[in-house]
Chains A and B, each alone.
Chain A
Amino acid sequence: MTIKYTLPARLLHWLVALGIIAAFALGLTTDSMEGFSMQKLKLINYHKWLGISVLALVAIRLLWRLSHRPPELPAQMQPWEKQVAHYTHMLLYVLMFAVPLGGWLYSSAKGFPVVWLGLVELPNLMDKNEELAGTIKFMHKIGAWTLVLLAVAHAAAALKHHFIQKDDVLKRML
């Protein structure tokens, strides 16, 4: 009998996963679009809305995680394997906060406030600053790529547990 993560934890996990994939795909798309167009304007806004949604969900997730102990990892896992899993999860959490916050900061630096879903205007995190904006965008990009590559490793590890070790690591989250 597999002891699973609680239902809210599972829902939040998969919602955040979908949000990150969609936001990353949109980010790559808009970043490769030249010039100024209606399409680009819309996609950039959708990207921002997704990013802020992910940030909010991750904040809820973290609070839930801190107040609910996750199910134990399989006893047959080596201590170092558990350590690697633990630090990967910590780094994923750090990036899930840092990447959307970086995007929000970049938007402020460019002089474009973030208006979530076109409804809620968020405060600017800094004054307009074109010089810093370039650096912030670069950091946002590096962070996003690191997050996505780490998430791919995370998913690969889960699949390895499921199909090779045949343990219940993946099932805990389904």
Chain B
Amino acid sequence: MRRTALFLSLLAAGTLGQAQAAPADPAKSSVKFVFTQMNVPVEGQFKKFSADIAFDTAKPDTGKVNIAVDLAATDAGSSDANQAVQMKEWFNTSSYPKATFSANQFKPLGGGKFSATGQFSVKGKTANLTVPFTVKPDAKGSWYEGSFPLSRLAWKIGEGEWSDVGAVADAVQVKFKLYVAK
């Protein structure tokens, strides 16, 4: 009887083709970024985020990823910058506290590499974004890692005088490392 139930649930999962979404381990995961200020590379970090990942390397097209970053907890390299980044010209966190990425289109790129395409939303603007990543399994789970340049101006991050790319370059390199236990 028990076995039948298990079999049926496995069958259901199989037919629905959805892997179970699991949250990334916040202690092992990180989302960092490098922005360029007068040609000076400065590293920052999004200290609070959640990531739910359902991904099977054998069946990439059934994958699903939801990431939400709490922009109020941004470390932009210095205490002055941490305050500034909350302002209207930058993230405007009082109106738009979160950046989100929901992807459900995945493509294998070969060699353990994949790309995730979905809706990226920040500061009231939503647009398609494709993010490359690699999957590295270990004994207890999987590492999802990637790095990609994001145009800050496309999402109006840094308006007014801060739209000057000579002061802060347009491309911000985002580096993520997410660990999901089995």
Q: How far is the CA of A113 from the CA of B39 in the complex (A)?
A: 10
Chain A residue numbers with a CB within 8 Å of B40 are 45, 112-115, 118, 121
B81 contacts A by Cβ under 8 Å: yes
Contacts of B84 in A (CB 8 A): 35-36
Q: Closest approach, in angstroms, between the C-beta of B180 and any C-beta of chain A?
A: 28
Say how far A2's CB is from chain B's closest CB, in angstroms. 45
* CB neighbours of A119 from chain B (8 A): 39
CB of A7 within 8 A of chain B? no
Q: Is the interface of A mostly helix, strand, loop or mixed?
A: loop
* Chain A positions 35 through 69: 1 when the CB is less than 8 Å from some CB of chain B, otherwise 0: 11010011001000000000000000000000000
Question: Is the CB–CB distance between B43 and A111 below 8 Å?
Answer: yes
Q: Are A35 and B83 in contact (CB under 8 A)?
A: yes
Residue B138 lies at the interface, judged by CB distance under 8 Å to chain A: no
Partner of A38, one of B77, B81, B162: B162
> Total A-B pairs in contact (CB under 8 Å)?
43
B contacts with A, residue count (CB < 8 A): 17
- Interface size for A (C-beta < 8 A) is 15
Q: Contacts A41-B38, A45-B40, A111-B42 given: A36-B167 contact, CB under 8 Å?
A: no
- Residues on B with C-beta less than 8 A from A110 are 77-78
Known contacts: A35-B84, A111-B42, A111-B43. The answer to whether A41 contacts B37 by CB under 8 A is yes
Taking CB as reference atom, which chain B residue is nearest A44?
B38
A interface footprint on B22-63 (CB within 8 Å = 1, 0 otherwise): 000000000000000111111100000000000000000000
Q: Are A38 and B38 in contact (CB under 8 A)?
A: no
Chain B residues near A112 (CB-CB < 8 A): 37, 40, 42, 77-78
Q: B38 to A45, Cβ gap below 8 A?
A: yes
State how many angstroms separate the Cβ of B170 from the closest Cβ of chain A. 16
Q: State the 10 A-B residue pairs at the shortest beta-carbon distance, nearest first.
A: A36-B84, A36-B80, A118-B39, A115-B40, A115-B39, A45-B38, A38-B161, A111-B77, A118-B38, A36-B81
